[in-house]
Amino acid sequence: MPAGTRTPLPLLNTNFYSSSCPNVSAIVRGVMEQAQQSDVQIGAKPIRLHFHGCFVQGCDGLESEQDANPNAGSVTGFEVADDIKAALENACPAVVSCADILAIASQVGVYRQGGSDWEVELGRRDSRTTNKAEANTALPSLFDNFDELTHSLSAMGLDSTDVVALSVAHTFGRAQCGTFSPCLYNFSGTGGPDPTLDSAFLNTLRQICPPSDDGDTMTDLDSSSPDSFDNNYFTNLQNNQGLLRTDQELTSGATDIVNWFAGSQSEFFDAFARSMVKMGSSRPLTGSSGEIRV
Shared-domain flag, residues 150 and 256: yes
138, 164, 198 — which closes off a domain? Answer: 138
Angle subtended by helix axes 78-91 and 44-55, to nearest 10: 90
Shared-domain flag, residues 273 and 151: yes
Where does the pLDDT of residue 8 fall: very low under 50, low under 70, confident under 90, or very high at 90 and above? very low
Summarised one tens digit per residue, pLDDT across range 182-227 is: 999 999 899 999 999 999 999 999 999 999 998 889 999 898 888 8
> For residue 15, is it within any domain?
no
> For residue 71, is it within any domain?
yes
Average pLDDT value for residue range 170-182: 89
Does the annotation mark 151 as catalytic? no
The reported pLDDT for the residue numbered 293 is 87
Is 140 annotated as contributing to ligand binding?
A: yes
Domain of 85: which CATH number? Answer: 1.10.520.10
Shared-domain flag, residues 268 and 153: yes
What is the number of structural domains in the chain? Answer: 2
Mean pLDDT, rounded, of the chain:
86
Shared-domain flag, residues 133 and 157: no
Shared-domain flag, residues 75 and 181: no
Residue 238 has pLDDT above 50, yes or no: yes
Q: What is the C-alpha separation between 117 and 98, in angstroms, rounded?
A: 21
Shared-domain flag, residues 126 and 63: yes
Q: What is the C-alpha separation between 74 and 149, in angstroms, rounded?
A: 20
CA 277 to chain centre: 12
Summarised one tens digit per residue, pLDDT across range 72-116 is: 555 666 888 899 999 999 999 999 999 999 999 999 999 999 999
Shared-domain flag, residues 195 and 218: yes
The alpha carbons of the chain give a radius of gyration, in whole angstroms, of 19
Three-state DSSP state, 247? helix
Three-state DSSP state, 122? strand
Residue 68 has pLDDT above 60, yes or no: no
Shared-domain flag, residues 56 and 125: yes
Shared-domain flag, residues 131 and 162: no
Residues spanned by the domain of 225 = 146-277
Where does the pLDDT of residue 4 fall: very low under 50, low under 70, confident under 90, or very high at 90 and above? very low
Average pLDDT value for residue range 44-57: 82
Domain of 213: which CATH number? Answer: 1.10.420.10
CB-CB contact of 77 with 46 (8 Å): yes
> For residue 36, is it within any domain?
yes
Where does the pLDDT of residue 47 fall: very low under 50, low under 70, confident under 90, or very high at 90 and above? confident
Shared-domain flag, residues 210 and 115: no
Shared-domain flag, residues 161 and 215: yes
Is 117 annotated as contributing to ligand binding?
A: no
Q: Which of 29, 45, 50, 52 is catalytic?
A: 52
Q: What is the C-alpha separation between 102 and 47, in angstroms, rounded?
A: 7
Residue 7 has pLDDT above 50, yes or no: no
Is 56 annotated as contributing to ligand binding?
A: yes
Shared-domain flag, residues 227 and 210: yes
Summarised one tens digit per residue, pLDDT across range 263-275 is: 999 999 999 999 9
Where does the pLDDT of residue 1 fall: very low under 50, low under 70, confident under 90, or very high at 90 and above? very low
